[in-house]
Amino acid sequence: MEIYDSLLKAVHDEYDTLRVLKKSARGEVSLVRHRESGTRYIFRHFEGSSEVYQLLLGLSCRNLPQIMEVGEKDGRTALLEEYVQGDTLGEILEGGVLTTGQAKQIGRQLCSALWVLHSRGIVHRDVKPDNVILRGSEAVLIDFDASRIHKTAISEDTKILGTTGFAAPEQYGLSQSDGRADIYALGVLLNIMLTGEHPSRKLVGGRMGRIVQRCTRVNPEKRYKNILHLMEAL
């Protein structure tokens, strides 16, 4: 509670808001700049649990943004996050599809990010072009607002979140989503990087097509067992 209040006060007193990046009924995401150092950060303030962000606090992984500070009070979360500068994968794909080599490199880096999340029990649940930033040659997976902790005691997700076309079938309440939901979304993303289309409309050919097909099986049991198996296949 103290961290929440002190973080709100610090952002008000010591930072300038450069622009609001996203705003919804749940909260907003802003790009802010520390007045003294000039360093830019992402400030998130939303209704919901800080559980996922607390697990990522202080973690260093080049394919994930660093979470600097997190506070929660009365069901609202405030946090300061590293600002990752670069173009989103969605912006890059507006210029055309990628080569197989490029798609595989990005795919492997996203597997690395997802392995870090999955090893902490976190399911991202919203892997898509707009949530991947290319910082030079590094792919960084951002935005954990739809993420959740996998809990063995429950049978389905408490909230249906994710992006249509990328969300695995189990995210619609069929069962509880685990790391294989992210494998599904990454399979869709690989296909879009290579064809510009969802695999249900146009499947990439050859070995990459077989990888995409396995990722996007309706039954999670028939997908890759875990993200490291997919990384190995790539």
The C-alpha atoms of residue 165 and residue 84 are separated, in whole angstroms, by: 25
- Can you name the residues that pair with 135 across neighbouring β-strands? 138
> What residues contact 61, with CB distance under 8 A and at least 6 apart?
112, 113, 116
Is 126 a residue of the active site? Answer: yes
Angle between helices 100-119 and 179-195 (to 10 degrees): 170
Q: Which H/E stretch holds residue 44?
A: strand 40-47
Identified catalytic residue from 13, 16, 126, 143:
126
> Which residues are catalytic, by number?
126
